Structure 1
Amino acid sequence: MPGVSWGLRRAVARRFEGPAEQAADAAHTALLATYLTDLLEPYGLGPAGGTGDGQSYGEMAAALLPDEPVDALVLAYDIPDIAPGRATATYLSHLCPGSPMAFAVSDQGRAGAHTALRLLHDYARSGTYPRGLLIVAEQASLPYDPGVPVEVPAAHCAVAVHLGPSTLEAAVPRILPGVAPEDVAGLLGDVGPATLVLGGHLADLDAKADTIVLADPAQPMTGVWEALASVEGPVVLADYDPALRYLCISSFG
């Protein structure tokens, strides 16, 4: 979009009480248990119960879709959906005004949302998909032991980040791999006259900014994006994944 600023228009966050309707469906729960058993068995793992209290990303995201048309929609998540049989991004494209091109990003920890933002940024700059919608979602049920340490969110939460022509221009997100904890402050630097939102693992960081907001540490994926929905003006989101050692920095304005 040469000559036109593209970036944050607004962000809307919502937490969802209770499980999805599908979670109460005995037939769905039985099929999900079979599906998980088949996938986990080769690794010596198995379901651990809890399939009855999860949430559906399709239903969560549908509640946050805008009224105006969208050109591109990207869903970012980390914890698996309780409805793995649904092509959720395609489902959301069907529901969303504009029938946007839609896909999902996962398996990157909390870096997934920043990768999704970068993709939307690049698509917009191509001039083909100027109106973007980033949906970041996590549900608080992991019905199996993955065999490695993992952070499970405390609440079902989804955030819709609306992107397009804006005075809060979005810079290209920085996703830095292989970052040691002691190097985070130096790589982040002084963000200047902006609000800095720090992810849960950066709460003790000696950061330099006009205003510092701490994201909810109990929401590994959605924490910084939920905080984005509550601040105004120029803002920088900084998140760190200690397991994957990704430092992610996304700025608006």
Structure 2
Amino acid sequence: MPDDDRWGLRRAESRRFPSPAALAADTGHAARLSVYLTDLLSPHDLTLTPGALDPVRGQSYGEMAAELLPSSPIDLLVLAYDVPDISPGRAVSTYLTHICPGQPMSFAVSDQGRAAAFTALSLIRTYAATHPRALLIAVEQADLPYDPGVPVTLPAAHAAIALHLDAAAAAALSSVTVLPDTSPSLDVLSGLEGLDATTVILGGGLAGYAEDVKADRVVLADPAQPMTGVWESLAGLDLAASGRVAVADYDPGLRYLCVAAFG
């Protein structure tokens, strides 16, 4: 962490994308994507859903994230996602480095379910002393052209959020916790109580605990957006008027309990 205790969240923004990616109109890409996914799925006895790529309905994380890049230079960019991209041949974080002011160091966090953005935020915090101007972009697209063979919760909409972090923060980032192998009924209330938050944002995995949370204000995130919902709610707050803010969610499949505290 930097010596300046003001480092944290300067602003948050969110955006939804009502249409498929521009890349979806490329019939050549659809044909290549069909071959690629078929080859990946066949060893697992899985197949593409008939007609799922005619046309392609998903979003490109490169296209989505590019809409949220800052106009001034940054030092670090971290992309967080869960649902696979419809453009698997692109190294998205490398592409974003190329087009982002400052050509920041970048990497991606995936395979963490709803915890992906929390894990990314924790990693950004560890880099803050040397890379203080940071950007977290979390993205989720709503189309999966095959049955993965295991229960999954797809988002209802293509959505992206951006957290801009630096030493001129509106709300200092005081802690980020990702706890594995947890039960919300045993762990979430005690964890939130210890933060003494004024405003608590609960993701869909914790909506049932809203009446038990001790805070001046409890905000329920959109449960139809498994990963970006809590951060969309954060982007909708007036940080200066919200006091200490805790953002919390639970991934029931992976049993991760996630809490981030600001202010």
TM-score range, shorter chain: over 0.9
SS, match of residue 110 in structure 1: helix
How much has 1:171 moved relative to structure 2?
A: 2.0
The aligned residue for residue 187 of structure 1 is: 191
Determine if the alignment matches structure 1 residue 82 to structure 2 residue 86. Answer: yes
Tell me the alpha carbon deviations over residues 131-155 of structure 1, each in whole angstroms, 9 at most, x when there is no partner. 0000000000011111110000000
Paired with 1:97 and 1:243, the residues of 2 have a C-alpha distance of 37
Query: Which letter does structure 1 place at the counterpart of 2:6?
Result: S
- Between the aligned partners of 1:181 and 1:118, the Cα distance in structure 2 is 20
Is 1:56 aligned with 2:60?
yes
Alignment-mate amino acid for residue 23 of structure 1:
A
- For residues 61 and 164 of structure 2, the distance between their equivalents in structure 1, rounded to whole angstroms, comes to 18
Q: Do the aligned partners of 2:11 and 2:170 also contact (CA within 8 Å) in 1?
A: no
The aligned counterpart of 1:136 is 138
Name the SS of the counterpart of 1:171 in structure 2. strand
Q: Is the 8 A contact 2:184 2:206 kept in 1?
A: no
CA separation in 1, counterparts of 2:175 and 2:52? 39
2:102 to 98, 102, 105: 98
Tell me how far 1:188 sits from its aligned partner.
2.7
Instruction: Say which SS state the counterpart of residue 24 (structure 2) adopts.
Output: helix
Structure 1's unaligned 5+ residue stretches are none
Q: For residue 21 of structure 2, what is the aligned residue in structure 1?
A: 20
The residue number in structure 1 matching 2:4 is 3
Q: CA contact under 8 A between 2:119 and 2:178: conserved in structure 1?
A: yes
Matches within 5 A, 1:148-227: 148-165=150-167, 166-183=169-186, 184-189=188-193, 191-205=195-209, 206-227=212-233
Question: How far has the Cα of 1:4 moved from its partner?
Answer: 3.9
Kindly state the Cα deviation for residue 19 of structure 1 after the two structures are TM-superposed. Answer: 0.3
* TM-score, normalisation: structure 1: 0.96
Other-structure match for 2:148 = 146
Evaluate the alpha carbon distance shift between residue 141 and residue 129 of structure 1 in structure 2; reply closer, same or farther with a 3 A threshold. same
AA matched with 1:30: A
Q: 1:7-63: CA deviations, max 9, x gaps?
A: 000001000011011112111011111111111111111111433100000000000
Output the amino acid matched with 2:52.
G
Q: CA RMSD in A?
A: 1.2
Note if contact 1:238-1:247 (Cα within 8 Å) is conserved in structure 2.
Answer: yes
Tell me the distance in 2 between the aligned counterparts of 1:20 and 1:159. 17
Aligned-pair CA distance for 1:128: 1.3
Mapped partners of 1:141, 1:3: distance in 2: 42
Q: Partners in 1 of 2:216 and 2:197 — Cα distance? A: 5
- Please report how far the alpha carbon of residue 190 of structure 1 lies from its aligned counterpart in structure 2 after TM superposition: 5.1
1:239 corresponds to = 249
Per-residue CA shift, 1:82-132, capped at 9, x if unaligned?
0000010011111111100011000010111001001110000xx210000
Deviation at 1:169, TM superposition (A): 1.1
Structure 1 residue 204 displacement after superposition = 1.5
Q: Would the aligned equivalents of 1:191 and 1:208 in 2 still touch at CA under 8 Å?
A: no
Residue identity in the other structure for 2:254: L
TM-score using structure 2 length: 0.92
**Contact (CA 8 Å) 2:175, 2:262: kept in 1 or not?**
no
Deviations 1:185-231 (A, max 9, x none): 23332542421100012111021111110000000010001111001
Between the two proteins, the alignment pairs up a number of residues equal to: 251
- Partner of 1:172, secondary structure, is strand
Is contact 1:193–1:209 with CA below 8 Å preserved after alignment? yes
Q: Which residue of 2 aligns with 1:68?
A: 72
State the 4+ residue runs in structure 1 displaced beyond 3 angstroms. Answer: none
> Helix, strand or coil: the match of 1:173?
strand
